[in-house]
Amino acid sequence: MAEAERVIGTPEVDDEAAAPAEQPKGKRRLAVLFAVALVAYLLDLGSKMLVVAKLEGHEPVEVIGDLLQFNAIRNPGAAFGMGEAYTVVFTVIASTVVLVIARLARKLYSLPWAFALGLLLGGALGNLTDRIFRSPGVFRGAVVDFIAPAHFAVFNLADSAVVCGGILIVLLSFRGLDPDGTVHKD
């Protein structure tokens, strides 16, 4: 049997040798998670810096007529401006999301989950940065929103990353793919 395996090109491997082969795969997934998170975070941070420097205090900029505008606002609440008195709660929620993703990352062996969690992490960190460092104060800061579609809430790139990551997580869950790479059928 060992000769047949060598001929086919699948070398004989014992359990101890298989473990190191799995380790880099998991590390690659972590690299994807953190790379996606970093890109999402930096795009959000850069866009907010540009919006604060160029748009804040000015008239909205029409991107696609009345359908889409860039309009700088400061949002202390959640989506649609709800919960303005609960800025500290949103800060705690975002911090919890970051911690849960960091804990889940240790068992991450799925590339799609790494991508989804990276989007979620980058978006959470983007809005968390605003809540910590923007006025009116630490843990009470207002988030910079600027993407204003007609008849919808004004949002930012961090919000987009969180929503896209969340949708991807729901789809992966419906398909039965777990973060550890296993597939289950319920």
> Which of 162, 98, 87, 94 lies closest to 128, judged by CA?
94
Would you state the structure tokens that stand for residue 164, as one six-digit string? 């896209």
- For the chain, percent helix, then strand, then coil, each to nearest 5? 60, 10, 25
Determine which one of 66, 159, 180, 186 is catalytic.
Answer: 159
Q: Is 159 an active-site residue?
A: yes
Distance CA 90, CA 126 (A): 13
CB 164 within 8 A of CB 92: no
Determine which one of 15, 44, 66, 145 is catalytic.
Answer: 145
Q: Is 145 an active-site residue?
A: yes
CB 186 within 8 A of CB 173: no
Residues identified as active-site: 145, 159
